[in-house]
Structure 1
């Protein structure tokens, strides 16, 4: 049975890569490689955005969170994300689409100049290298455990290299179109897996199981503890989830090239806005589905703790159910879906990093005009370079200790506020110039480093006093405020620029 499941996994992964390459066609230009010539259907882009922000840890951690004490708190977070994406769709996407950009940071070049564009791009690629390198290693943890169930003892380094090699093939050859199509397929599989799990669990626990989970608080959506310390430190406190989550989504989906690049691949502005807002709705549905899996698993297991079930943490609950409670082939497909989630986030990162490196750094700072053929070659070369660096970083991280999930989440806190703040500075402070923006950007990153690493808040839970860092959702608003204040102050020391951001001309890579 294990051999059959392994065969299913291998066939699926190869088939997905092949389909992605077939649907993407041959890449003939850098614009095609970066944004698919702006001709991708909005619904595939929507699914790609959802898959891009869904890692292996999302698939296994959301059910685990619902099983413990979070309930449907992730759905509450998604409501804030929908608000933030709606603002991005109304305010920022029109700027990008009118300009014909292939990178979000080309707007910063138009508004402030190429040096700020370069600073933002370098910040993005290195932040993404750190975050995705940690994410890649974190993905290898459950995959190693899953493969051990099939009788295979494989080290983290081998898993990291294998995932990177398989992903880089279709990313290198097919560009953004291959990435988008494969991500859409992979999202369909892991969501189908959740639906199958819900159906099987419902058959086991029945209406009584739903009732037990409801009375145990597993379906609770809103966290209404309004204590100040709780609001500042918990991602699930209502103000944090809605207000902080909305601003966090504005940064992650409006100023992070990882997401913006997919949105720019649509045909029209209206399609871009549809894809952006619909992705938030689908994320909420996705969180609800995986949370329901966790709630039903709680009823199925009679409320026993992971330790009582022989598991090290709640993250093992959903994989354990897939491997031991579902029929052969179906369990193999669902494991493949978990692998697909890892490959989807990796392929997205590689393509967007290559995009930003070529469009925002090499093209902008090159004294000679680079032909489109050369740009395409550079894009593919940078895809390979970032793949090697990401795999090396992930393997290096495997020798360290620490909570990789929290590490990956924290990294964005250093830079997201500065990135979103730079865009808002350009829109709100008309007299700000490139010097103001760069100073504000650097100061914000320094301030956020202090906030993330030093500031801790005392929290009392069940009579126990602990010290927690500020919730990730509040880090972006803090960073934005610092950027606007510093940029606004420095702009008062010089005269207003003669002209700023008029109707943007079309800019291509």
Structure 2
């Protein structure tokens, strides 16, 4: 069963409006600063909405309802730490990156630890972005193909090609304003689904809440795959199993790492001032958790709906013979009124495209400013680097599309596992290097290189453990947080063994940062 032609028209209209908004800014991108930072003139609310759009990917749009439909709200637990991370970003990270002429996360590493560390981290980031973009594009294309009847490769070209087009031609202004539009669309799509379900269930919200609470669906219980029942999650601290506090700690660690990625730093530096950049984190901190909760509640609503309107597909998903990620597409095709289905599909597309646009721009900026300008082609005109930036954006778009096609043509699970494995192996602990540099005056490039080597060795051990080649000593879910711990500990020990020479650390640690002016438009 495919979408009605009216729904297809709604989707086409969404693509047309998105492309129009994106290409509107083509004429303004005449310098690298304008192309990558939009003239540093964005209001905080717009940057904040773009953050929300970038945070809510297509995996969230489909995955969260799937999880809460099949199990409970346990996947929401790591997100509960996010408002605290947003406060940390607003009052520590933002003024740190907004001062001292830093516009790139890896430019900071270059200033603090030198070229080898910065180049390594930049290359790892670009590789990870390609993997992430290809994965999101592939999942987005599979969803669009299942609903529209188009072949997956054509859906890859449509979704990724359109996003890459406005990101390449329109620059960061196009990315920010299309993300604002896409954020509104994706939130509207989720709300439409919730309202339709509540209207279809006798008793509405009260009945949904009561039935879900009685079944333990609105809880942080975890599904026991052996018994098929929900069981309470322990609240203690342990590395051998998932517990409530450990999941929140993992969430905090992952979101802190996300605040130190280039796509985040790029948004902060594009705001009008420190004050506006902080406003963006207020919007994100107050907005992201309710949006995540809405998607979890949508899955719970769908569970109640299919308890009262059971069919073969929902029964197969609950029985485990069909993927839980199929539940929302199934609901869209079979239960949403004509026109609304097109809006919700557009919302799912918006969730994916809002993540992709900023990834393309950020990866291109890292290539031009942190690799090409520093090491490969020095001393050229700004126009040369602007052309290089547009070529790099187009190249990352093609790599994104090529990776997604590769996922489609080959053994998808094997390739995804391999790509995630390589990213974890070489990229684990990079955020620990940032934290070591920002919060201590100790160490130089030697200490961080020791930390990188130690972290790569640790993640290699974790992967061998996960593949059962070595005995399991901790839950693999904690690999990322332990990797950052290994990085910080190794850097600290190496810094004591290899003392750094006295050097100017102005603007490079929180202890050597001058007093800030929250209304500064440009980094001083």
TM-score (norm 2): 0.86
- Which of residues 403, 406, 430 is equivalent to 1:419? 430
TM-score (norm 1): 0.88
Take 2:241 and 2:35, find their aligned partners in 1: how far apart are those partners? 41
Cα offsets for 1:415-454 (capped at 9, x unmatched): 5542111112213442311122123223313321321342
Aligned to 1:402, the other structure's residue is in SS state helix
Check 1:361–1:302 CA distance in 2 against 1; reply closer, same or farther (3 A cut).
Answer: same
Aligned to 1:341, the other structure's residue is in SS state helix
Take 2:240 and 2:286, find their aligned partners in 1: how far apart are those partners? 26
Cα offsets for 1:346-373 (capped at 9, x unmatched): 2121111101111111112146312211
Check 1:503–1:60 CA distance in 2 against 1; reply closer, same or farther (3 A cut).
Answer: closer
- Could you say which residue in structure 2 is the equivalent of 1:4? 6
- Could you say which residue in structure 2 is the equivalent of 1:371? 381
- Could you say which residue in structure 1 is the equivalent of 2:402? 392
- Could you say which residue in structure 2 is the equivalent of 1:460? none
Take 1:55 and 1:6, find their aligned partners in 2: how far apart are those partners? 21
Structure 1 stretch displaced more, 445-454 or 46-55: 445-454
Take 2:190 and 2:522, find their aligned partners in 1: how far apart are those partners? 42
Q: CA deviation at 1:278?
A: 3.0
Cα offsets for 1:361-419 (capped at 9, x unmatched): 11121463122111111110100111111211221122114288877876664455421
- Contact 1:138/1:405 (CA < 8 Å) preserved in 2? no
Structure 1 stretch displaced more, 358-367 or 401-410: 401-410
- Could you say which residue in structure 1 is the equivalent of 2:465? 454
- Could you say which residue in structure 2 is the equivalent of 1:27? 29
Cα offsets for 1:146-169 (capped at 9, x unmatched): 11xxxx2x3322221222221111
- Could you say which residue in structure 1 is the equivalent of 2:155? 159
- Contact 1:452/1:469 (CA < 8 Å) preserved in 2? no
Q: CA deviation at 1:490?
A: 2.4
Aligned to 1:249, the other structure's residue is in SS state helix
Once the two structures are superposed, the pairs formed by residues 267-346 of structure 1 within 5 Å of their partners are 267-302=272-307, 307-309=313-315, 312-346=322-356
Aligned to 1:64, the other structure's residue is in SS state helix
- Could you say which residue in structure 2 is the equivalent of 1:381? 391
Structure 2 gap ranges (5+): 223-231, 514-520
Take 1:306 and 1:451, find their aligned partners in 2: how far apart are those partners? 40
Check 1:424–1:209 CA distance in 2 against 1; reply closer, same or farther (3 A cut).
Answer: closer
Provide the alpha-carbon RMSD of the alignment. 2.9
- Could you say which residue in structure 2 is the equivalent of 1:140? 141
Residue 176 (structure 2) pairs with residue 196 (structure 1): no
Take 2:194 and 2:363, find their aligned partners in 1: how far apart are those partners? 37
Structure 1 gap ranges (5+): 458-466
- Which of residues 55, 63, 66 is equivalent to 1:64? 66
- Contact 2:134/2:403 (CA < 8 Å) preserved in 1? yes
Structure 1 stretch displaced more, 336-345 or 166-175: 336-345
Check 1:346–1:407 CA distance in 2 against 1; reply closer, same or farther (3 A cut).
Answer: farther
Residue 181 (structure 2) pairs with residue 173 (structure 1): no
**May I ask how many residue pairs the two structures share in their alignment?**
490
Take 1:503 and 1:86, find their aligned partners in 2: how far apart are those partners? 21
- Contact 1:38/1:264 (CA < 8 Å) preserved in 2? yes
Cα offsets for 1:302-342 (capped at 9, x unmatched): 17597554662221222222222222112111111112222
- Could you say which residue in structure 1 is the equivalent of 2:226? none
- Contact 2:65/2:328 (CA < 8 Å) preserved in 1? yes
- Contact 1:444/1:479 (CA < 8 Å) preserved in 2? yes
- Could you say which residue in structure 2 is the equivalent of 1:247? 253
